[in-house]
Amino acid sequence: MISINCYLVSFLYLLHLLANVSSQSYKTKEPIKITDSNWTNVLEGEWMVEFMAPWCPACKSFKDVWTEFAGWGYDLDITVGVIDVTENPGLSGRFLVTSLPTLYHIKDGNFRIYQGGRKTTDLISLIDEKKWNAIEPVAWYRNPNSIQMGVLGNFFTAAMFIRGIYNTMTDVYGIPEWLCYVIFAILTIIIGLILGLLLVLCCDNFFPAKYIPLPPERLAHKPKDDPTDDDDIIDDTVEQKQTKKTSLDSKGPSELSGSASQVASDSEVRKRTQKAKE
pLDDT tens-digit series, residues 144-179: 999 999 999 999 999 999 999 999 999 999 999 999
Verify that 61 and 128 share a domain, yes or no: yes
Q: Residue 182 belongs to what domain range?
A: 149-206
Q: Tell me the average pLDDT across 23-48.
A: 82
Active-site choice (6, 56, 202, 203): 56
- For the stretch 49-103, pLDDT in tens is 999 999 999 999 999 999 999 999 999 999 999 999 999 999 999 999 999 999 9
Q: Whole-prediction pTM value?
A: 0.60
Verify that 49 and 93 share a domain, yes or no: yes
Q: How many Å apart are CA 63 and CA 257, to the nearest integer? A: 127
Verify that 48 and 81 share a domain, yes or no: yes
Residue from 23, 124, 115, 41 nearest 76 by CA? 124
Residue 154: inside a domain, yes or no? yes
Burial 171-182 (b: 16+ CB within 10 A, else e): eeeeeeeeebee
Give me the CATH number covering residue 84.
3.40.30.10
Verify that 86 and 183 share a domain, yes or no: no
How many structural domains does the chain have? 2
Residue 2: inside a domain, yes or no? no
Asked whether the beta carbons of 82 and 28 are under 8 A apart, the reply is no
Active-site choice (6, 59, 180, 202): 59
State yes or no: cis peptide before 89, omega within 30 of 0. no
Verify that 123 and 183 share a domain, yes or no: no
Stated as kind and residue range, the H or E segment containing 32 is strand 32-33
Verify that 167 and 121 share a domain, yes or no: no
Verify that 57 and 89 share a domain, yes or no: yes
Residue from 134, 80, 84, 145 nearest 112 by CA? 134
Q: How many Å apart are CA 22 and CA 277, to the nearest integer? A: 129
Clarify whether 203 is annotated catalytic.
no
Clarify whether 56 is annotated catalytic.
yes
Residue 59: inside a domain, yes or no? yes
